[in-house]
Structure 1
Amino acid sequence: MKISARNTIPGTITAIAKGPSTATVKIDVGNGLTVTSTITADAAADLGLKEGDTVTAIIKASDVLIGK
């Protein structure tokens, strides 16, 4: 699969919280860091995601916001 996004981070799924319409997926990307993604429940099912899976977090954003 080719994609246009250049920000890709490999990791391992550590937790999946499934709701009626969305799933929150936590990915351990190393060095004590976790990336959390909220995707549709259908997408999670189609991908067959489960804890322990090796996946890639693909980040495509035009803005990065910082708050304090």
Structure 2
Amino acid sequence: MQLSARNQLPGTVVSIKEGAVMAEVVVQLVGGPEVVSAITVSSVQRLKLAPGSPVTVVVKATEVMLATND
């Protein structure tokens, strides 16, 4: 699948916390930090996500903020 988003980061699902409608999916990026994604429970089921599943984190944003300690 090709996407317009350039920020595609490979990783592995570490954990999934399901609520009534939404799920919190924690992904360990290859060689980097963890990223947390909030997606619907139905998406977790449709994608057959489970701890250990390889995934690609796709970030598409029109605004990305940067901060310094100054």
* TM-score computed with the length of structure 1 as normaliser: 0.89
Equivalent residues in 2 for 1:45-64, closer than 5 Å = 45-64=45-64
Tell me how far apart the structure 2 counterparts of residues 45 and 28 of structure 1 sit (CA, whole Å).
20
Equivalent residues in 2 for 1:28-67, closer than 5 Å = 28-66=28-66
Bigger shift: residues 4-13 or 30-39? 30-39
Q: How much does 1:53 deviate? A: 0.5
Aligned length: 68
TM superposition outliers: structure 1 runs of 4+ over 4 Å: none
For structure 1, which runs of at least 5 residues remain unmatched after alignment? none
Q: How much does 1:66 deviate? A: 4.0
In structure 2, the partner of 1:20 is 20
Q: How much does 1:32 deviate? A: 4.8
What RMSD over aligned residues (CA atoms) do the two structures have, in Å? 1.4
Taking every aligned residue pair, what percent have the same amino acid on both sides? 37
